[in-house]
Amino acid sequence: MVLTIPLVLLLAAVLALLLRFRALGAGAAVAAVLFGFYLAGTGAADTVNQLVTAVTGALASASR
């Protein structure tokens, strides 16, 4: 998937902005990161990856 690293950086930036503007506390940010980390190790990781691939593919084709 071509968008893997930029998508991770985008999500990290969103998380950092939520922390910066105090829309999300540090404990909730840690919980979000740990949830993503452990989700990646489950059987749901393939489904999430396919969903993100489908959405980014639809967005890319809609912008043409």
Q: What is the pTM of this model?
A: 0.65
Q: What is the DSSP string of the chain?
A: -TTHHHHHHHHHHHHHHHHHTTSS-HHHHHHHHHHHHHHHTSTHHHHHHHHHHHHHHHHHHHT-
pLDDT at 60: 84
pLDDT at 34: 87
Domain boundaries along the sequence of the chain: 4-62
pLDDT at 27: 92
Q: Would you state the structure tokens that stand for residue 13, as one six-digit string?
A: 């930036």
Per-residue pLDDT of the chain (64 residues; tens, 9 = 90+): 555 567 778 888 898 899 899 998 999 999 888 888 888 889 988 998 899 899 989 988 887 7
